[in-house]
Amino acid sequence: MDLFEATAQALVLLAVFDPALWEIIGISFRVSLTAICIAIPPALLAAFLLAHLEFPGRRVLISLFNTLLSLPAVVIGLTVYLMLSRQGPLGDWQLLFTRSAMVIAQIMLAFPILVSMSHAAFQAADQRAWETARTLGIPSPQAFVMVVGEVRFGLLAAVLAGFGRIIAEVGASMMVGGNILHFTRNIPTAIALETSMGNFAQGIALGIVLLIIAFALNLSLQYFQGRGKLSL
């Protein structure tokens, strides 16, 4: 099967809403959206504290999060695998090869991106926003929400970048999810499997979906980063 034929078949699969294909897409979104939603609150809080508090080891922590940005997904996958495997410290939870394991791995993947980019957004935010809120007698938690609102475009860019990373990663999901049909098979692991089986049409169809997601995320990122500059 040549590339054009495979692509034509892939477009047909997408157009007729092939149930197997859309099930895989659904699993991908469910897992990645759950992971990003869980990761956002602690990541934003950590980024805010790193930007606004002076404490020993702060710079080391920032460098650590920046370093973790380039950590390969398979290393995260391996770590989570070892933790969740029967002999691992969390083996009793029996989460290996479940969607929960994939969510845990994707949280670990997204967290450094969220912290690093949100930290940059908070750093770039006007210090006066926090100070003004405090001098207006606004309690710290509410002042934090106000500052988040002021840098919302930068934070949204961080969320989109984090989501972009985890929806497309294959290594960690493969290792801790096991690529089980109807259960833990998501877009990237399905592409890897279909390609290895010579079933290029479904692989390309999923690739097109991934490409469309990536394009939409990048477009949104461009938009929100531009707005972020204006909001300062």
Partner 1 sequence: MNATTEIRYSEIHKFFNRRHLLNRLSLSLEGGTATLLSGENGAGKTTLLRILSGLEKPSECRVDFTPGEPGSNPQPWSQCRRRLQRQVMYLHQQPYMFDGSVVHNLALALPRTMPRLQRGKKIRQALEWAQLEALKEAAAKTLSGGEKQRVSLARAWLRQSRILLLDEPIANMDRESQVRTVALLRRFKNARAALMISSHNHEVFCQLIDRRLVLDSGKLSPAQAPLLPGNVTPLARDGAPSGNAGNASR
Q: Which residue type occupies 43?
A: A
CB of 125 to partner 1, least distance (A): 10
Q: What is the DSSP string of 140-198?
A: HHHHHHHHHHHTHHHHHHHHHHHHHHHHH--HHHHHHH---TTTT--HHHHHHHHHHTT
Closest to partner 1 by CB, 5 or 126: 126
Smallest gap, in angstroms, from Cβ of residue 126 to partner 1?
6
Report the nearest approach of partner 1 to the CB of residue 46 (Å): 22
Can you tell me which residue has the tokens 């003004």? 132
Distance of CA 146 to the CA centre of its chain: 24
Question: Of the two residues 7 and 231, which places its CB atom closer to partner 1 in the complex?
Answer: 231
Q: Which of 36/151 has CB closer to partner 1?
A: 151
Nearer to partner 1 by Cβ, of 133 and 172: the residue is: 133
Per CB under 8 A, residues contacting partner 1 are 126, 128-129, 131-138, 142, 146, 149-150, 231
Minimum separation from the CB atom of position 163 to partner 1 (A)? 24
Q: Residue 69 to residues 50, 55, 108: CA-CA distances in angstroms?
A: 16, 23, 10
